[in-house]
Amino acid sequence: MFDDFLVRAGLAGVGLTLATGPLGSFVVWRRMAYFGDATAHAAILGVALSFAFGLSVYVGTVAVALGMAVTVATLAGRGHAMDTMLGVLAHSALAFGLVAVSFLTEVRVDLSAWLFGDILAVSRTDLAVVWGGSAVVLALLIWRWQALLTSTVNEELAQAAGLDPRRERLVLTIALALVVAVAIKIVGALLIAALLIIPAATARQFARTPETMAVGASLAGVGAVVLGLYASLRVDTPAGPSIVTAAACLFAASLPFAGRRA
């Protein structure tokens, strides 16, 4: 019989992949990989502020991640070089977060748990937050699915159809901030982007439609969670990195099938 903590870890990972599958697909389609990375790095600053002001880590992380995402989107819209701006903000936010944590002498903070995740320490409350947050993100994406697809394919086409591409970018921004907040305890700030991108990239080798790619990305994520947790249990490796390693192995296994879609 599986231990209770392992069941909670598996349920948390599966719940997270319900959101990271379709959201990661949009990250891949829109080439937003670095955008996701910057938002995830900013989450460490959110963790530090949460401890400093006695807030829930989830609240602080959502606030900072959302602030980072909105800032980047605003600056990019004003003509700033996107990749440069993302690099500056991502590393600056991570550095500020690490420095801020060093001042919290009255609070013991294990940064490795927030940088690389600690899925085996997920509580029942964390489980409820993960599933609740993933459900909100999934509902948001389903609600705006067609509009998001249209603006992803061609913003001019979206405008001709009466859609506002900026609003759709905001939807993705909010969804990304929520996913970062619920994922940080599972895979950590440094690995969140990997869980968004790698399963989606794996599913892309087989998908014929956007919908099948979104579902396939979630399934690939579930497979990575199961394999990663099994490997972590068998060979005593860190759970978060093991999940991402399993995802990378699944991606490598999918490469021979690239270009074989009908």
Question: How confident is the model over 64-80, as pLDDT tens digits?
Answer: 888 877 777 676 666 55
Q: Is the pLDDT of residue 165 over 90?
A: no
Distance (Å) of CA 255 to CA 90, 242, 246, 249? 30, 20, 15, 10
Q: Indicate whether 193 belongs to any domain.
A: yes
Q: Indicate whether 156 belongs to any domain.
A: yes
- Closest by CA position to 137, among listed 103, 183, 179, 105: 179
Q: Indicate whether 262 belongs to any domain.
A: no
Domain that holds residue 210: 4-257
Q: Indicate whether 38 belongs to any domain.
A: yes
Q: In the prediction, which pLDDT does 259 show? A: 60
Residues 21 and 199 sit within 8 Å (Cβ to Cβ): yes
What single-letter DSSP state applies at residue 206?
T
Question: How confident is the model over 42-101, as pLDDT tens digits?
Answer: 888 888 888 888 888 888 888 888 887 777 767 666 655 666 777 787 788 888 888 887
**pLDDT bracket for residue 1 (50, 70, 90):** very low
Question: How confident is the model over 217-248, as pLDDT tens digits?
Answer: 999 999 999 999 999 989 989 888 999 999 99
Q: In the prediction, which pLDDT does 156 show? A: 83
Instruction: Give the type of residue at 52.
Output: A
Taken in order 42, 43, 48, 52, the sign of the CA dihedral is: positive
Q: Is the pLDDT of residue 261 over 60?
A: no
Q: What is the overall mean pLDDT for the chain?
A: 85
Cβ atoms within 10 A of the Cβ of 78, count?
Answer: 7
- SS3 at position 110: coil
Q: Indicate whether 205 belongs to any domain.
A: yes
Q: Indicate whether 36 belongs to any domain.
A: yes
Q: What is the pTM of this model?
A: 0.88
- SS3 at position 108: coil
Q: Indicate whether 25 belongs to any domain.
A: yes
Q: In the prediction, which pLDDT does 79 show? A: 55
Spatial distance between the Cα atoms of 154 and 78, rounded to a whole number of angstroms: 20
Q: Indicate whether 117 belongs to any domain.
A: yes
Which CATH number fits the domain that encloses residue 51? 1.10.3470.10
Q: Which positions ≥6 away from 169 have C-beta within 8 Å?
A: 73, 151
26 burial type by CB count under 10 A (0-12 exposed, 13-18 middle, 19+ buried): buried
Instruction: Give the type of residue at 241.
Output: P
Question: How confident is the model over 192-206, as pLDDT tens digits?
Answer: 889 999 999 999 988
Tokens at 107, concatenated: 């609070």
Count of structural domains within the chain: 1
